[in-house]
Amino acid sequence: MTSAAAPTEGRVFHTLDALRGIAAIGVVIFHMQLAFNPLGVPGGYLAVDLFFMMSGVVLSHAYEPRFQAGMGVVDFMRARFIRLYPLYLLGTMFGIAVTLASMRGHNSQGWDAPGLLQAAARAVVFVPNFSRTPVDEMFPLNIPCWSLFLELVVNLLFVVAWPLLTFRRLIGICLLSGAGVLVAIIHAGSIDQGSVAASLHIGLARTLFGFCIGVLIARHLRHRPYRESNAQVLVIAALVVLAITAAVTGAWRAGWDAACVLVVFPLLVFWGTSVDPGPRVQKIAAFLGVTSYAIYVLHSPLAAVLNSVSRVFAGGVAAVAPYAGVAVLVLLLLGCWIIDRCIDIPIRRHLARVVPRMQTLTSRS
């Protein structure tokens, strides 16, 4: 059944919530491939570009009216810090624990105490690692956090440059960053780049392109009604699943990645803002949306543990795949839902009260 609905300023994008959850699950399967064989998500890294676009939609829709009302750089970045940092820090703590355990075992990455202390000190203050030691990753204790760092960089650019971001200028940024993304794909054969310092510029191009596409979509939909249709939402979700699970190899991989990032994902996100699921499907979408960030930022240390288990025990998790992977995924979903409800939300509410108070006290001293 399809019905029309008028847009509201506080609209929740339930379809995008569902896509965020699907994308997060895709990333998990991509990083835990041994536990899910023969199931696979060879294009799981494409989910990151989808995240950037959906973030652009949601942040533009929620905050541009506030910018018009006088919200400044400090207030916006404080809001982003409160939203992202608690679970980021929890994921970093998990990463430190897993790395400590690895140092007492196989230690395939060659960690030592000084290297871990340096990496932990940088990670706690959200500073990337621009050297190749101890591990050639910008966030070696929790690798996927490179995308969070770059999103915060683009968030800062967004709020600072917002008065200048006309439609034409946004189009220009999309064209330039999109060209950079295309060149990177052609050169490397895929868009699975950006987590190391050497490919920082590619990661920044991916972030800029996706986020600005999202801003353009949000500005277009501000005065446009959306419709309710479970069937359309399921089609959109199925297309996203197809995009990230397609086993495209060789020279075709580059074409597939380019098509998904530059054409398919923008169209699907635009379509997703035009339609919402019915009440029953909304509950599923809301659950996927609520757990998606926690899944993304917490799954990497768990993947490291599973990979270590596979090395230590004969057969490891691969011997009971894909059942092991499905069981881990179910536990991860439930655990992340509990963490969101019992840890993340209370901490964010506390920070929302305390951080402005701290700023006031500082200004008085």
pLDDT digits (tens, 9 = 90+) for 21-40: 999 999 999 988 888 888 88
Q: What is the pLDDT of residues 178-225, one digit of tens each?
A: 999 999 999 999 999 999 999 999 999 999 999 999 999 999 886 677
Measured CA to CA, the distance from residue 214 to residue 59 in angstroms comes to 9
Pick the closest to residue 267 from 244, 239, 238 (CA basis): 239
Confidence of residue 306 (pLDDT cuts 50, 70, 90): confident
Average pLDDT over residues 5-10: 53
Longest dimension (CA), the chain: 63
| Structure confidence at residue 84 as a pLDDT band (50, 70, 90) | very high
Structure confidence by residue, pLDDT tens digits, 160-174 = 999 999 999 999 999
Mean pLDDT of all residues belonging to the chain = 89
- What predicted TM-score, i.e. pTM, was given to this entire model? 0.91
pLDDT of residue 309: 61
pLDDT in tens, 234-250: 999 999 999 999 988 88
Looking at residues 248-274, what average pLDDT do you find? 95
Distance CA 274, CA 282 (A): 15
Q: If you average pLDDT over residues 300-318, what whole number do you get? A: 68
227 has which bridge partners?
4, 275
Of 4-8, 64-68, 208-212, the least confident = 4-8
Evaluate if residue 312 carries a pLDDT over 70: no
Cβ burial 232-254 (10 Å sphere, 16+ → b, else e): bbeebbebbbebbbbebeeeebb
- Strands in the chain per DSSP E: 3-5, 226-228, 275-276
Share of the chain above pLDDT 90, in %: 71
Handedness of CA 125, 127, 133, 135 (dihedral sign): positive
Which position has the higher pLDDT, 302 or 340?
340
